[in-house]
Structure 1
Amino acid sequence: MSKSGEFCPRCGDDVPKRPEPLPGEPRDRDAALCDACYFEDFDLVDAPERIEVLVCSRCGAVHRGNRWVDVGAKDYTDVAVDEVAEALGVHLKAEQVQWGVEPEQVDQNTIRMHCTFSGLVRGTHVEETVTVPVKVSRGTCKRCGRISGGAYAGEVQVRAAEREPTKDECDRAMEIAHEMVEEREADGDRDAFVTEAKEVKDGADIQLSTNKLGRMLSKRLVEEFGGSFEEYATLVTEDSDGNEVYRVTFAVRLPRYRQGEIIDPEDGDGPVVVTSVRGNLKGTRLASGERYEARFDEGDAPDALRLGERDDAVETTVVAVEDEHAVQVLDPETFETKSIPRPDFFDTDAQQVRVLKSRSGLHMVPDAESKRE
């Protein structure tokens, strides 16, 4: 590098000629120093003497500023690395900076972070090592405090019309609640949580942190299971600003019948396997294979006899095909040859079929993947 004809104001040595700053760019006051004097006072890294981290002992969230932040760390060492990375500052003149960290666990609450930095400054390779102690203290974040205190704003009560929800329905309802909260948490919503979810005598009760979550869950349950819901608000208190605070109960009513259930509307056309309970009930006639749909004057579902479920059907042997209306099969209980209706979903090449024997007789039952459904 050519000489500039200028001298270092500190030691008097010649100063190499440096590029002029761009128009509008401020002049570096240290540009007049030679490299030796410049690096005497140069610090590649600006590091605090100590870092204190407050971590929620229940969920692992870290307190930053005036709020709690989910950092997704596996342990406190990961938290310490993240906090050190946030706190350290690298000189603006450094280029091609690289750094590494080696944590040292001093005790249960203290981690000593040995950090090594390197980079190019004025074309010279510079390396610096700093050690930063990280003190980890434990507390309880606002969210976990509310959960442990049993706080909730909305309660979803899962019930069913003229029956009790099955264990599978209750388990699925609680599973959907937790999935929905996980979705909200992934989007950074720390106010979303399930306070309690439990199976009760006549269904399931799910307590949620906000009324919005309660309404969302109720809609999802109706989308998946059918049925309907209503909400009832109760004034519980006033906040610090004098605003009324309500707790809302969402009463979810599942349909009278479930998908896969076999019923007899007693209209003369034989049993129906239920294929949909969204809106008015829909199904497939076991005798003919024709599509069935509840009439408007029957409401969402007709009055019908419960005969069983699709899973209650058992396999039996096809003896002979009589004609386009009847098939001979073995009775699964007596092993006698019985003539039963031949529905559209019957496969003429089949040697085995599934049948259900009930008070309405012996009927062939379609597989769940039947195209008719």
Structure 2
Amino acid sequence: MSQTREFCPRCGNEVEERSEPLPGAPRERDEVLCNACYFEDFDLVDAPDRVTVRVCANCGAVHRGNRWVDVGARDYTDIAVDAVSEALGVHLKARDVAWAVEPEQVDQNTIRMHCQFSGVVRGTYVEEEVVVPVYISRETCQRCGRIAGGYYASEIQVRAEGRTPTPDEQSRAVDIAESFVAKREEAGDRNAFITESKEVDDGTDIKLSTNQLGQAVATRITRELGGNVESYPTLVTEDSDGNEVYRVTYAVRLPQYTPGTIIDPEDDEGPVLVRSVRGNLKGIRLTTGDRYEAQFEEGEAPDARELGSVDDAVETTVVTVEDDHAVQVLDPETFQSKTIARPSYFDPDAETVPVLRSRAGLHILPDDAVDSE
């Protein structure tokens, strides 16, 4: 049986025998061409005239798809390579494709990509080189734009009951906010940022980017420093879909007493060194060294008068140990020997001890008085 000879419809030359398509499958138009005519119009690579990479001039984020992504790149050469590789298209008929790229930095905002491709088409090895300019478009991402514009959706007001928060409390509140926001950023949340934190006359105000962030930070502040939080939403606008947008103020109220404060509860059992105000107030009796814990209903502020703090303590001399319940020390004001209560944490071999002199009398403090539980 004789074979049917095929000829190229463009040049008339005989076409080399190739495998027939499957029964019922159409033959592609270019399949009837000879190799010479086929490769005359053949492009191994489909490349754009230019690729634009949008980057934030402030934080360095790169715009991909419909969002900004933090890439942490020192320069944008690798970013440009990725952008070009995504923009290039290789012919579907090519097999065993290999490619390499050599970037050329033209100026600060332009990188010229020299791309070499090779592959096998119709059993023929082909090569092609394309040059794609990559333009670095420096813009401002939405996040940086919001920060620059002072945008915030929630505000935490750190205050204290009957007093002004201590500098340590205010500093710690800001540290808690910064630490939590940093973790959210590391997790890829680009909506998480602190707009501003500032000290005011009666505490510290912290402005945050989202309501969820404000609630989470306020909760963590009270969890560590004690107190409670209340929220006050304010309607500020409507979004493009007509949904109401609220700005929420989280009022954090720290406890009246702080660790290191000495109070005299109304139970007539002697002063207490406050150790913790988480949940309810806990401490240690200065007369006995016994553990003290306020009743549940009293919470963080049992009925008591404040006598001072560990910062008011002074070192004085131990004169003699009288018995298991009494010790004699020098009064730091009168320099006279005075017998006072001997708490269980007192070291009988100690030559000096820290004491607090207050209207409740003279009391020995633990050496680790400022340590929490």
Matched ranges for 1:112-123 at <5 A = 112-115=112-115
CA–CA separation in structure 1 for the residues paired with 2:350 and 2:300 = 37
Task: Please give the per-residue CA displacement for 1:258-293, whole angstroms capped at 9, x wherever unaligned.
Answer: 123333336433332222211110111223221101
Partner letter of residue 176 of structure 1? I
- Relative to 1, partners in 2 of residues 1:272 and 1:95: Cα closer, same or farther, differing over 3 Å? farther
State yes or no: 1:153 paired with 2:153. Answer: yes
Structure 1 position 203 matched with structure 2 position 203: yes
Mapped partners of 2:124, 2:339: distance in 1: 96
Q: Secondary structure at the match of 2:206?
A: strand
- Given that residues 62 and 70 in structure 1 are in contact (C-alpha distance below 8 angstroms), is that contact kept between their aligned partners in structure 2? yes
Matches within 5 A, 1:280-319: 280-296=280-296, 298-302=298-302, 303-309=304-310, 313=313
Counterpart position of 2:355: 356
Q: Structure 1, residues 126-155: CA drift from partner, whole Å, max 9, x if none?
A: 887654321111111222222222222211
TM-score (norm 2): 0.76
Query: Which amino acid is 2:239 matched to?
Result: D
> What is the rounded CA distance, in whole Å, between the counterparts of 2:34 and 2:132 in structure 1?
31
> In the TM superposition, what is the alpha-carbon distance from 1:228 to its structure 2 partner?
0.3
User: Counterpart in 2 of 1:143?
Assistant: 143
Partners in 2 of 1:110 and 1:40 — Cα distance? 32
Runs of 4+ with >6 A deviation? 6-17, 27-44, 117-128, 330-337
2: distance between equivalents of 1:138 and 1:81?
17
DSSP-derived class of the 1:304 partner: strand
Q: Alpha carbons of 1:71 and 1:354: their partners in 2 closer, same or farther (altered >3 Å)?
A: farther
Contact (CA 8 Å) 1:99, 1:118: kept in 2 or not?
no
Residue type of the alignment partner of 1:236 = V
Per-residue CA deviations over 1:240-269 (Å, capped at 9, x if unaligned) read 333322211110101111123333336433
Aligned to 2:176, the other structure's residue is in SS state helix
- Please give the alpha-carbon distance, in whole angstroms, between the structure 2 residues aligned to 1:124 and 1:351: 95
Contact preservation (8 Å) 1:56, 1:140: yes
Is the Cα–Cα contact under 8 Å of residues 320 and 329 in structure 1 kept in the other structure? yes
Aligned residue in 2 for 1:24: none
Distance 1:304 1:343 in 2: 21
Assess if the C-alpha contact under 8 Å between 2:315 and 2:355 holds in 1.
no
RMSD, matched Cα: 4.3
Alpha-carbon distance in 2 for matches of 1:341, 1:113: 84
What are the equivalent positions in structure 2 for 1:60-209 lying under 5 Å apart? Answer: 60-89=60-89, 99=100, 101-102=102-103, 104-115=104-115, 130-209=130-209
Q: 1:280 to 1:16 in 2, by over 3 A?
A: same
Q: 2:326 & 2:73 partners in 1: Cα distance?
A: 66
User: In 2, Cα distance between the equivalents of 1:345 and 1:365?
Assistant: 6
| 8 A Cα contact 2:330 2:336, kept in partner | yes
| Identical aligned residues as a percent | 62
Partner of 2:214: 214
| CA separation of 1:242 and 1:347: change in aligned 2, threshold 3 A | same
- Return closer, same or farther for 1:333/1:95 CA change in 2, 3 Å cut-off: farther
Distance 1:196 1:123 in 2: 66
Unpaired runs of at least 5, structure 2: none
What is the CA–CA distance in structure 2 between the aligned matches of 1:114 and 1:250, rounded to whole Å?
A: 56
Is the 2:287–2:363 contact (alpha carbons within 8 Å) kept by the matching residues of 1?
Answer: no
Question: Which AA in structure 1 matches 2:354?
Answer: V
Cα 1:357–1:97 change in 2 (3 A) is: farther
Aligned letter for 1:210?
T
**In the superposition, relative to structure 1, how do residues 319 and 60 fare at CA in structure 2: closer, same or farther (>3 Å)?**
same
TM alignment of 1:6-85, pairs within 5 A: 47-85=47-85
Contact 1:264/1:307 (<8 A) preserved: no
SS at match of 1:358: strand
SS in 1 for 2:162: coil
**1:367 — aligned with what?**
368
Match of 2:250, SS state, is strand
Conserved? CA contact 1:232–1:250, under 8 Å: yes
Higher mean alpha-carbon deviation, 293-302 vs 204-213, is at 293-302
Take 2:365 and 2:339, find their aligned partners in 1: how far apart are those partners? 11
Separation of aligned partners in 1, 2:101 and 2:197: 45
Secondary structure of 1:233's counterpart equals strand
**Residues in 2 aligned to 1:241 and 1:51: alpha-carbon distance in whole angstroms:** 34
| Contact 2:101/2:113, CA 8 A, preserved across alignment | no
**Cα deviation, residue 214, structure 1:** 1.4
Please identify, of 154-163 and 325-334, the stretch whose mean Cα deviation from structure 2 is larger.
325-334
Whether the 8 Å contact between 2:318 and 2:353 is mirrored in structure 1 is no
* C-alpha separation in 2, matches of 1:362 and 1:313: 9
Evaluate the alpha carbon distance shift between residue 130 and residue 340 of structure 1 in structure 2; reply closer, same or farther with a 3 A threshold: farther
Q: Secondary structure at the match of 2:257?
A: coil
Output the amino acid matched with 1:363.
I
CA contact (8 A) 1:99 1:117 kept: yes
Give the whole-Å Cα distance in 2 for the aligned partners of 1:243 and 1:176.
31
Q: Partners of 1:37 and 1:319 in 2: how far apart?
A: 113
Query: What's the secondary structure of 1:181's corresponding residue?
Result: helix
Greater displacement, 127-136 / 192-201? 127-136
Q: How far off is 1:231 after superposition?
A: 0.8
